[in-house]
Amino acid sequence: MRAQFRSRIRAILLFVVLVAVLILVRLYFVQIVDGDDYALKADRQFSSGGSGLFDRGAIDFTRKDGTPIHAATLATGFLAAINPQILTDPETAYRAIRAAASSSPVLSRDAFLAAAEKKAQVYIEVAHRLSDEHGKALAAQNIPGVQVLRERWRYYPGASLAAQTIGIVSYGSGDVLVGQTGLEAAYDGALSRSGDALYKNFFAELFSNVGNLLVDAKDAREGDVVTTIEPEVQTRLENDLAKLTKRYASKESGGIIMDPATGAILALASYPSYDGNNRQDVAPSLLGNPLVEHVHEFGSIMKPLTMAAGLDAGVITPETTYNDTGCITVNTARICNWDGKPRGVIAMPEILLQSLNVGASWIATKLGQDAFREYFTALFGTKTGIDLPNEGRSLLSNLSKPQQVGYDTAAFGQGIAMTPMQMVRALGALANGGMMAEPHLVRAVRLNSGIERSIDWSRTTPVFSAAAVRETATMMTALMDQKLEGGKAMIPTMSVAVKTGTAQLTDGRGGYHTDRFFHSFVGFFPSYSPRFVILLYTNDPQGVEYASETLDTTFLDLVHFLIDYYQVPPDRGLATSTSSG
Amino acid sequence: MPSLRLPFSISSLCASAVAVLLVAYIGVIAVVMTYAALTVEFSQSVRNDEAAVAALESAYLADVARLTSTDYAAVGYAKPRATTFIRAQSSTALR
pLDDT tens digits, one per residue of B28-68: 999 998 998 898 888 878 888 888 899 999 999 999 999 99
Q: Using pLDDT thresholds of 50, 70 and 90, give the confidence band for residue B2.
A: low
Q: Say how far apart CA A550 and CA A543 lie, in whole Å.
A: 10
Distance CA A91, CA A116 (A): 10
What pLDDT band is residue A48 in, cutting at 50, 70 and 90?
very low
Residue A325's Cα: distance from chain center in Å? 45
Residues of B in contact with A42 (CB under 8 A): none
- Residues A5, B1 contacting (CB under 8 angstroms): no
- For chain A, what percent of residues have pLDDT higher than 90? 71
Tell me the chain A residues in contact with residue B47 when contact means C-beta distances shorter than 8 Å: 74, 76, 152
- Residue A535 pLDDT > 90: yes
Q: Please, what are the domains in chain A?
A: 75-155 (3.90.1310.10), 234-274+292-565 (3.40.710.10)
Where does the pLDDT of residue A44 fall: very low under 50, low under 70, confident under 90, or very high at 90 and above? Answer: very low
Q: Report whether A443 contacts A455 (CB < 8 A).
A: yes
Burial A513-539 (b: 16+ CB within 10 A, else e): eeebbbbbbbbbbbbbebbbbbbbbbb
Q: What are the pLDDT digits (tens) for A272-331?
A: 999 999 888 899 889 999 999 999 999 999 999 999 999 999 999 999 999 999 999 999
Partner residues linked to A81 by β-bridges = A125, A147
Q: Do B39 and A198 touch (CB under 8 A)?
A: yes
- How far CA A413 is from CA of A27, A54, A189, A256, A304, in Å, comes to 78, 48, 39, 19, 10
- Residue A539 pLDDT exceeds 80: yes
| Residue A435 reports pLDDT greater than 90 | yes
Residue type, A207: F
B13 Cα to chain A: minimum distance (Å) = 12
- Reply yes or no on whether the pLDDT at A195 is more than 60: no
| A203–B contact, CB cutoff 8 A | yes
Instruction: Return the higher-pLDDT residue of A73 and A105.
Output: A73
Banded model confidence at residue B92, pLDDT cuts 50, 70, 90: low
* Residue B44 to residue A150, Cβ atoms within 8 A: yes
For chain A, the average pLDDT equals: 89
The pLDDT tens digits of the residues spanning A452-498 come to 999 999 999 999 999 999 999 999 999 999 999 999 999 988 999 99
Which residues of chain B approach chain A closer than 8 Å at the C-beta?
1, 3-4, 10, 28, 32, 35-36, 39-40, 42-44, 46-48, 50-51, 53-55, 57-58, 60-62, 64-65, 68-69, 79-87
Q: What is the pLDDT of residue A25?
A: 84
- Number of continuous H segments (helices) and E segments (strands) in chain A: 21, 21
Say how far apart CA A89 and CA A104 lie, in whole Å: 22
Kindly indicate the confidence band of residue B84, based on its pLDDT and cuts at 50, 70 and 90.
confident
Helical (H) or strand (E) element with A232: helix A231-248
> Which residues in chain A are closer than 8 Å to B24, comparing Cβ atoms?
none
